Amino acid sequence: MATKKKSATKSNRKVAKVMREYKHGDLKSAGRAPVKSRKQAIAIALNEAREAGAKVPRKKAATKKKSAARKKSTARKTTARKRS
């Protein structure tokens, strides 16, 4: 059974190019300072891919923690006691 080799997408090629620059120390940020963070290098690569017209999904927005809402709804309700 022969496997078919997938061709690299535009975004994959762009990320590979930028990460190679990062690895060799040639990647510069917008302020022309060398990039030292791997996460920043990936962000730059994805941004350049988007500008080049590649279909790259946006980063998902951080969701609010629901634990605070759950605590409020599950809190015990106190009933008024009859005093004699």
Query: Which residue reads 């629901």 in tokens?
Result: 66
Q: What is the domain partition of the chain in residue ranges?
A: 9-55
pLDDT (tens digit per residue) in 23-44: 999 999 888 899 999 999 999 9
Least confident of 14-18, 36-40, 49-53, 79-83: 79-83
Q: Is the pLDDT of residue 82 over 80?
A: no
pTM: 0.58
Residue 34, phi then psi, degrees to nearest 5 = -65, 140
pLDDT at 54: 82
CA 13 to chain centre: 19
